C-alpha cells in the first residue's frame, strides 16, 4: 500500500490509525494530521462510500468492529490508535473488545480514546468499560472525556431546527458545557503526536455551560428567526428516536445521557482544552456563526 503526501510519495510508514471516519471527530483528526504532514492510516467502515478528497494523501484500509477479519490488517504496523466507539455499538464485550484486544496484540502502544464527560462515575455508558479494558491492558492511553458536542445541533438536531424551529431534548433547565468537535480533533492530534499526553485523562468542554433555552436564544439571535426549546418526557424522546429508525440500544444510551444531563452532570467547565491547545475553546456563538447554513430553511 502506498502513502502519498500532497501528491508526492514519501518513505515514512504510517504508525497512526484513525477510526471513526468520516464521523464528526474522526474527520477533524484527519484534517489536523494532514495539516501537520504526518503520515497515517484511516480505518474506513464503508469502503463503498465515495472516497474523500484526501484519499490520495493517506493510506485507507477497511475496518469494521464487527468484522474480525478486518482487524489485523488495519492494526499491523500501527503504534498509535485514535479510537471512536460508533454510537450504534452498545455491547462493548461483543462489539468493541475483540478489535481492541487485536490492536494491542498487533503492537499498538498508545490508544487515544474518544470518551465522555463524567464517565468515571457512570458505569452504564459503554465508554466506562472501554476505558477499563484499555487501562487494564497496560497500554498507554489518553482519554478524551468530551462534553456534548455543539455539532449535535448541526447534525442530529438540525432538521428539527430547520423545519420546525424547535430543539426537543429531555433535559429540562439543566446546563451543558458544550464543546466544538474541532477542538476535540485538535486535542486528539496533540495526543497522537506528543508523548506528554500519554496516560492522561482530559475532560474536554467549551468555555461556558448553557441551558437549552440559552442555546435556543443564541440560535434565534444569529438566525434572525425564533427557535424554541421543548422538553419532552424521556419516553416520548425514546419513542421519537425509534420512529426515526434508531435501534433500541442506541435510543436507550442517548436517553440515559440526556437524563444524566438533566440532573446537572454535564455542566462542569474544564480548562483542559486551554491547557493542551494554549488557547480558549471555540465559543458557542462562533459555532453558530460557522454552521448557520445548516439551519437555513429556504
Can you give the binding site for ligand NAP, defined by CB under 6 A? 20-26, 45-46, 49, 63-66, 84-87, 114, 116, 146, 148-149, 152
Cα 174 from Cα 273, distance rounded (Å): 22
Distance CA 236, CA 277 (A): 40
Nearer to ligand NAP, 8 or 259 (CB): 259
**268 φ, ψ (degrees, to nearest 5):** -65, 130
At its nearest, how many Å lie between ligand NAP and the CB of residue 1?
19
CA distance 228 to 216: 5
Least Å from the CB of residue 117 to ligand NAP: 7
Closer residue to ligand NAP, CB minimum distance, 50 or 278:
50
Nearer to ligand NAP (CB atom), residue 113 or residue 295: 113
Least Cβ distance, residue 232 to ligand NAP (angstroms): 18
Least distance in angstroms from the C-beta of 151 to ligand NAP? 7
Residue number with CB closer to ligand NAP (91 or 297): 91
SS (H, E, C) 104-167: HHCCCCEEEEEEECCHHHCCCCHHHHHHHHHHHHCCEEEEEEECCEHHHCCCCCHHHHHHHCEE
Residue 20 or 39: which CB sits closer to ligand NAP? Answer: 20
Closest-CB residue for ligand NAP? 23
Contact between 211 and 174 (Cβ < 8 Å): yes
- Report in angstroms how near the CB of residue 114 gets to ligand NAP at its nearest: 5
* Least distance to ligand NAP, CB of residue 9, Å: 27
Helices (H) and strands (E) in the chain, counts: 11, 13
Cis peptide bond prior to 195, omega within 30° of 0:
no
67's grid cell: 468484522
Q: Which is nearer to ligand NAP, 20 or 206 (CB)?
A: 20
Amino acid at each position: 500500500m502506498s502513502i502519498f503526501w500532497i501528491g508526492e510519495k514519501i518513505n515514512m510508514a504510517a504508525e497512526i490509525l484513525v477510526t471513526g471516519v468520516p464521523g464528526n471527530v474522526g474527520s477533524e483528526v484527519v484534517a489536523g494530521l494532514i495539516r501537520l504532514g504526518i503520515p497515517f492510516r484511516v480505518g474506513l467502515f464503508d469502503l463503498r462510500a465515495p472516497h474523500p478528497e484526501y484519499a490520495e494523501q493517506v493510506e485507507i484500509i477497511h475496518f469494521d468492529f464487527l468484522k474480525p477479519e478486518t482487524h489485523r490488517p488495519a492494526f499491523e504496523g500501527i503504534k498509535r490508535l485514535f479510537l471512536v466507539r460508533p454510537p450504534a455499538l452498545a455491547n462493548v464485550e461483543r462489539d468493541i473488545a475483540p478489535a481492541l484486544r487485536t490492536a494491542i496484540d498487533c503492537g499498538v502502544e498508545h490508544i487515544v480514546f474518544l470518551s465522555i464527560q463524567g464517565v468515571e462515575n457512570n458505569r452504564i455508558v459503554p465508554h466506562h468499560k472501554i476505558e477499563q479494558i484499555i487501562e487494564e491492558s497496560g497500554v498507554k492511553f489518553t482519554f478524551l472525556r468530551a462534553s456534548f458536542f455543539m455539532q449535535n445541533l448541526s447534525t442530529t438536531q438540525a432538521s428539527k431546527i430547520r423545519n420546525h424551529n424547535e430543539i426537543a431534548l429531555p433535559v429540562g433547565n439543566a446546563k451543558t458545557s458544550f464543546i466544538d468537535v474541532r477542538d476535540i480533533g485538535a486535542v486528539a492530534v496533540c495526543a497522537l503526536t506528543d508523548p506528554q499526553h500519554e496516560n492522561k485523562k482530559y475532560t474536554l468542554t467549551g468555555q461556558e455551560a448553557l441551558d437549552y433555552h440559552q442555546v435556543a436564544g443564541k440560535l434565534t439571535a444569529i438566525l434572525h428567526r425564533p427557535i424554541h426549546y421543548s422538553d419532552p418526557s424521556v419516553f416520548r424522546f425514546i419513542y421519537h428516536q425509534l420512529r426515526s429508525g434508531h435501534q433500541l440500544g442506541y435510543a436507550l444510551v442517548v436517553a440515559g445521557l440526556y437524563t444524566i444531563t438533566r440532573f446537572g452532570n454535564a455542566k462542569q467547565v474544564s480548562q483542559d482544552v486551554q491547557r493542551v491547545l494554549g488557547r480558549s475553546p471555540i465559543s458557542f456563538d462562533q459555532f453558530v456563526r460557522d454552521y448557520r447554513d445548516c439551519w437555513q430553511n429556504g
